[in-house]
Amino acid sequence: MTGAQIADRAARQAVIPKATGADRAFAGFFRLLMYGAIGVSLLALLTLLYDVARDGVPSLSWDFLTSFPSRIIPESSGIQSALYGTLFLMVVCATIVVPLGIATAIYLEEYADRTKWWNRLVEVNIQNLAAVPSVVYGILGLAFIVRGPLSLGRTVLAGGITLALLVLPVVIIVAREAIRAVPPSIREGSLALGATQWQTIWKQVLPGSIAGIATGVILALSRAIGETAPLLVIGAAVNPRFNPDGLGSAFTALPIQIFTWTQDPNREFVDLAAATIVVMMVLLLLMNSVAIFLRNRYEQKW
Amino acid sequence: MSRSGDRPLAENVTDQRRQDKDAAAVPATEAAATAPASAPVERDVIFDVDDINVFYGEHKAIRDVTLDFHVNEITALIGPSGCGKSTFIRCLNRMNDLIPSARVDGKIIYHGEDLYASDIDPVQVRKRIGMVFQKPNPFPKSIYDNIAFGPRVMGTKGDMDEIVEQALRRGALWDEVKDRLKTNAFGMSGGQQQRLCIARALATEPDVLLMDEPCSALDPISTGRIEDLMTELKQNYSIVIVTHNMQQAARVSDMTAFFTVELHDEGKSRTGAIVEYGGTDKIFTNPDDKRTEDYVTGKFG
């Protein structure tokens, strides 16, 4: 083929076809659609935040955080007992969920023989439990923990256990992911040096996955903090003018306080609910920031 | 005066000896090349492998492997992909125990004890028999902690700094890393990582080193360094190496075992088996079996 022939052929049939106007328009349209989708969700979030902040921020003050709720006088009402209640619940919940969740994840990832049906059954059940509505956990808590076999009453301990059961599947799933991210070659390397299986888990697998596990635990706790339904079902206290003083104490929590105040016919109490929501949002934001920080700072890259 | 006069004399003597040795070496190699495969009789045996069969579930992965490995020698296992070399080398330190469906039949005698006897703890086996893997697998810790991990899990008493230095020296890595022992091992080059893994295996004072394609992820220069290291290490250790690189087997090993893969049920099932075992020179220059010859000359595989 001579140079002239090649040039001639190129002129008749371009090797790389030029993009048509229709292609560009189509791509542009889709891009707009994506921006639109993000815009809608951001707008919804901002509207919500603005609405809550407008109603709630004026009521925020140190006194609001440190006073007990009142049934009658909105001005002197506060959320001290709710803050303490949430704190107590979270401590109980974390104490139960961290060892139980990590141990279950270790069993399923490191010990369980997946060819055995009972191990597969456990796996499938945990995934299903993660999708069970939280009110069902409330009913379970009421029937088995508050009354029934455990009969703990409407206490901090009962509430904490119920929330722990609620987020346990999430913690297990996240911890398993983190453990699975540790490459098998690390386990082999450790075992080949004469480490036992437990030494391998304790000194290689867990240190390699702890950042992921911690992130998961915090995210699970921040889900537990906002749960209202199960605590309502098991019977949290309404407007208590006392802080919980132990595991056997009655309690309320931030979402319960919000729920109580939004039900109130007095408009000023509804504004207090908005203020409580602001407090809870700040708390959630802080927890999620810690989770993101942990992940970025300590996550092991393999 | 007399002292300084002695020295050249002594050197002359050594030179003379060296030449003698070189001269003697030539016929020795020839003798080895022509000797039958059953020649290794007098050398000390480190592993006496007797009729090993490995199953994954119902599937037989390797069959009827019987051979002896010798002390202070490098034994190479070669053969096409899927012939069970890696499966076999992992029998020697009971790493196959980690695969739930794997079952090993037969005997491997090591220092007079059957590694597969029911009262043998695989963890103890692995403390005595070190292993280096295909891909360098340093722990996400400092260089120091990588080396110290083995001695620590064994509960070794003694000066850990000393142990770490010793191991790194034996792994020919000390000079490169002595100023950055506390830095993360992930920051090393691939070749350095692999030498770290070798040094790490040596830190637990094994007498055997198993190497499963230790150079397949490395460039030629790093490969050369590891081969030099192996030649040095065989003074004190017995080494078994799986390799896909025929030149590597020819360069470093004393004995070579050639494995092949047998197909059953119209290719649905594959079993590895040993074809020929003997001195490396013989396997590469004058093999008994046609299949070995085809493989080492590159006609097959």
Residues 6+ apart with CB under 8 A from A142: A233, A234, A235
A34 and A86 share a domain? Answer: no
pLDDT in tens, A2-27: 777 777 776 676 678 777 888 889 99
User: Within a domain: residue A105?
Assistant: yes
Determine whether the interchain pair B139/A190 forms a contact, defined as Cβ–Cβ distance below 8 Å: yes
A29 and A132 share a domain? Answer: no
Residue A195 touches chain B, beta carbons under 8 Å = yes
Minimal CA separation from B137 to chain A, in Å: 6
Phi, psi of A225 (to 5 degrees): -60, -40
Total domains, chain A = 2
B241 forms bridges with which residues in the sheet? B76, B211
A266 and A135 share a domain? Answer: yes
Q: Is the pLDDT of residue A30 over 70?
A: yes
Provide the pLDDT for residue A268: 87
Determine whether the interchain pair A189/B133 forms a contact, defined as Cβ–Cβ distance below 8 Å: yes
Among chain A residues, the shortest Cα distance to B147 is held by: A193
A87 and A130 share a domain? Answer: yes
User: Within a domain: residue A8?
Assistant: no
- Average model confidence (pLDDT) across chain A: 91
CA distances from A103 to A129, A135, A229, A277, B209 (A): 17, 26, 28, 34, 35
B78 forms bridges with which residues in the sheet? B258
* Residue A161 domain boundaries: 62-298
User: Within a domain: residue A196?
Assistant: yes
Q: Using 50 as the pLDDT threshold, list the residues of chain B that sit under it.
A: 1-40
Mutate to test the interface with A, among B120, B126, B209 (most CBs of A within 10 A): B126
Total residue count of chain B as it appears in this document: 301
Share above pLDDT 90 across residues of chain B, in percent, rounded to a whole number: 66
Assigned CATH class of B70-104+120-296: alpha beta
A34 and A126 share a domain? Answer: no
Q: Is the pLDDT of residue A112 over 70?
A: yes
A69 and A170 share a domain? Answer: yes
The crossing angle, in degrees rounded to 10, of helices A80-106 and A267-298 is 30
Q: How far apart are CA A163 and CA A158, in angstroms?
A: 9
User: Within a domain: residue A220?
Assistant: yes
The sign of the CA dihedral A183, B75, B48, B282 is positive
CA distances from B246 to B213, B250, B281, B301 (A): 12, 6, 12, 11
Q: How far apart are CA A168 and CA A94, in angstroms?
A: 10
Provide the pLDDT for residue B185: 95
Model ipTM?
A: 0.81
Q: How far apart are CA A221 and CA A214, in angstroms?
A: 11
| Contacts with B98 from chain A: Cβ below 8 Å | 188, 191
Q: Which of A192, A300, A301 sits opposite B126 (nearest CB)?
A: A192
DSSP state of B98: G
Residue A184 touches chain B, beta carbons under 8 Å = no
A99 and A46 share a domain? Answer: no
Q: How far apart are CA B155 and CA B287, in angstroms?
A: 47
A137 and A269 share a domain? Answer: yes
Provide the pLDDT for residue A10: 67
Q: What are the tokens at A102?
A: 């990590």
Q: How far apart are CA B104 and CA B92, in angstroms?
A: 11
A203 and A288 share a domain? Answer: yes
Between the ranges A64-68, A106-110, A246-250, A292-296, where is the mean pLDDT highest?
Answer: A106-110
Provide the pLDDT for residue B35: 44
Among chain A residues, the shortest Cα distance to B132 is held by: A189
A33 and A99 share a domain? Answer: no
User: Within a domain: residue A4?
Assistant: no
Domain boundaries, chain B: 70-104+120-296
Q: What are the tokens at A281?
A: 């949002």
Mutate to test the interface with A, among B89, B137, B193 (most CBs of A within 10 A): B137
Among chain A residues, the shortest Cα distance to B153 is held by: A195
Residue A171 — pLDDT band, cuts 50, 70, 90?
very high
Higher pLDDT, A29 or B13: A29
A84 and A32 share a domain? Answer: no
Residue A113 touches chain B, beta carbons under 8 Å = yes
B60 forms bridges with which residues in the sheet? B55
B257 forms bridges with which residues in the sheet? B77, B277
Q: Are A272 and A254 in contact (CB under 8 A)?
A: no
Helix, strand, coil shares of chain A as percentages rounded to 5? 75, 0, 25
Q: How far apart are CA B163 and CA B100, in angstroms?
A: 35
Provide the pLDDT for residue B11: 39
Q: What is the CATH number of the domain that holds A181?
A: 1.10.3720.10
pTM, rounded to two decimals? 0.81
A186 and A243 share a domain? Answer: yes
